[in-house]
Homo-oligomer: A and B are copies of this chain.
Amino acid sequence: MNARHSEGTATPPASGERSMREVRIVAGVTGPIADPRVLCPVRDVLDRLGDAWSVLVILRLGDGAMRFNALKRAVGAISQRMLTVTLRSLERDGLVTRTVFPTNPPQVEYALTELGASLAGPIGALADWAVTHRDRITSERRRYDAGETDRSSP
């Protein structure tokens, strides 16, 4: 057999949870999208947080202001270039402040703005979901990879 069944048709609105439909409306996804980069608030945020390092940097700055190299060590495998690029873009969006102390050698401190700190909510929601469901996803993934022959053999 080639078809995989389950759920049939619907999206269960779940018990006390928010409906995906409601979220779609809030997200402004009501018609076809011309360009994935425009007109969708959720995509805006994901463009902002979806890159490899932004969230890791934000989480580190959540503990308080840090200087460039300390931040680099704390984050880990990030390259100097990417830390610079990431911080610039976070600064541009008003999520992070950059303060230069004209000492010698120079000291530069980065810190979350209130706007940046307010991301704790959304990021926390993602973290909770991830922690709750990661085992499930891992097993689903294994199952899928195991039954791969279903797709090619009749």
- By a beta-carbon cutoff of 8 Å, the part of chain A in contact with chain B is 2-14, 17-24, 26-29, 31-36, 40-46, 49-53, 55-56, 58-65, 73-78, 91-94, 97-102, 109, 111-115, 117-131, 133-134, 136-137, 140-141, 143-145
A56–B23 CA distance with the chains assembled, in angstroms: 11
18 further interface pairs, Cβ-Cβ under 8 Å (given A14-B114, A33-B76) = A4-B98, A9-B111, A17-B118, A17-B121, A19-B120, A22-B120, A24-B63, A27-B59, A27-B127, A32-B73, A32-B75, A36-B52, A43-B56, A46-B50, A92-B145, A115-B133, A119-B129, A121-B129
With A32-B77, A77-B35 already in contact, the answer to whether A64 and B9 are too (CB < 8 A) is yes
**Cβ contact within 8 Å between B102 and A3:** yes
Q: In whole Å, how far is A123's beta carbon from the nearest beta carbon of chain B?
A: 6
> What number of copies of this chain does the assembly contain?
2
**Cβ contact within 8 Å between A42 and B123:** yes
Contacts of A126 in B (CB 8 A): 42, 45-46, 122, 125-126
Q: In whole Å, how far is A36's beta carbon from the nearest beta carbon of chain B?
A: 5
Report which of B118, B128, B137 forms a contact with A94, defined as CB distance below 8 A.
B137
**Cβ contact within 8 Å between A127 and B20:** no
Q: In whole Å, how far is A139's beta carbon from the nearest beta carbon of chain B?
A: 8
**Cβ contact within 8 Å between A5 and B99:** yes
